[in-house]
Amino acid sequence: MADHSETHVKMPNIKFTKLFINGEFVDSISGKTFETIDPRTGEVLARVAEGGKEDVDLAVKAARNAFDHGPWPRMSGAQRGRIMMKFADLVDQNVEELAALDAVDAGKLYHWGTMVDIPDSSATLRYYAGAADKIHGATLKMSREFQAYTLREPIGVVGHITPWNFPSNMFFTKVAPALAAGCTMIVKPAEQTPLSALYYAHLAKLACIPDGVINVVTGFGPTAGAAISSHMDVDKISFTGSTEVGRKIMQAAAVSNLKVVSLELGGKSPLIILDDADVDKAADLAISAGEICVAGSRVFVQEGIYDKLVKKLAEKAKDWVVGDPFDPRARYGPQVDKRQYDKILSHIESGKSEGATLLTGGKPCGNKGYYIEPTIFTEVKDHMRIAREEIFGPVMSLMKFKTTEEAIQRANSTIYGLAAGIVTKDLDTANTVSRSIRAGIIWINCYFAFDGDCPYGGYKMSGFGRDLGMEALEKYLVTKSVATPIYNSPW
**Which residues are identified as catalytic?**
264
Question: Buried b / exposed e across 133-165, counting CB within 10 Å, b at 16+?
Answer: eebebeeeeeeeeebeeeebbbbbbbbbbbbbb
Of 225, 296, 333, 393, the residue at the interface with ligand ADP (CB under 6 A) is 225
Contact mark string toward ligand ADP, 417..446, x via CB under 6 A: ------------------------------
Is residue 284 within 8 A of residue 447, CB to CB? The reply is: no
Of 52, 113, 177, 221, the residue at the interface with ligand ADP (CB under 6 A) is 221
Amino acid of residue 439: A
Contacts of 113 (CB under 8 A, 6+ apart): 95, 98, 99, 100, 102, 103, 168
Q: Pick between residue 77 and residue 246 the one whose CB is nearest to ligand ADP.
A: 246
161 binds ligand ADP (CB under 6 A): yes
Distance in angstroms (rounded) separating the CA atoms of residues 429 and 274: 9
195 binds ligand ADP (CB under 6 A): no
Q: Pick between residue 320 and residue 464 the one whose CB is nearest to ligand ADP.
A: 464
DSSP code at position 101:
H
Of 156, 241, 374, 393, the residue at the interface with ligand ADP (CB under 6 A) is 241
Min CB(447)–ligand ADP separation in Å = 20
Helix (H) or strand (E) holding 357: strand 357-360
Q: Pick between residue 264 and residue 324 the one whose CB is nearest to ligand ADP.
A: 264
Min CB(162)–ligand ADP separation in Å = 6
Strand 19-21's sheet: what is its strand order? 24-26, 19-21, 214-216, 184-188, 157-161, 236-240, 260-264, 463-464
Q: Pick between residue 256 and residue 434 the one whose CB is nearest to ligand ADP.
A: 256
Distance in angstroms (rounded) separating the CA atoms of residues 337 and 413: 31
Is residue 159 within 8 A of residue 237, CB to CB? The reply is: yes
Using the Cα atoms of residue 464, residue 436, residue 407 and residue 441 in order, give the sign of their dihedral: negative
Of 18, 64, 231, 248, the residue at the interface with ligand ADP (CB under 6 A) is 248
| Site stretch for ligand ADP (CB under 6 A), options 26-34, 155-163, 351-359, 433-441 | 155-163
304 binds ligand ADP (CB under 6 A): no
Q: Pick between residue 159 and residue 182 the one whose CB is nearest to ligand ADP.
A: 159
The number of CA neighbours under 13 Å toward the Cβ of 439 is 27
203 binds ligand ADP (CB under 6 A): no
197 binds ligand ADP (CB under 6 A): no
Of 162, 184, 215, 404, the residue at the interface with ligand ADP (CB under 6 A) is 162
107 binds ligand ADP (CB under 6 A): no
Q: Pick between residue 12 and residue 189 the one whose CB is nearest to ligand ADP.
A: 189
Number of residues that bind ligand ADP (CB under 6 A): 18
| Site stretch for ligand ADP (CB under 6 A), options 107-115, 210-218, 239-247, 452-460 | 239-247
Is residue 225 within 8 A of residue 69, CB to CB? The reply is: no
Helix then strand then coil, in percent of the chain rounded to 5, is 40, 20, 40
Distance in angstroms (rounded) separating the CA atoms of residues 468 and 454: 6
226 binds ligand ADP (CB under 6 A): yes
Interface residues with ligand ADP (CB under 6 A)? 161-164, 188, 190-191, 220-222, 225-226, 229, 241-242, 245, 248-249
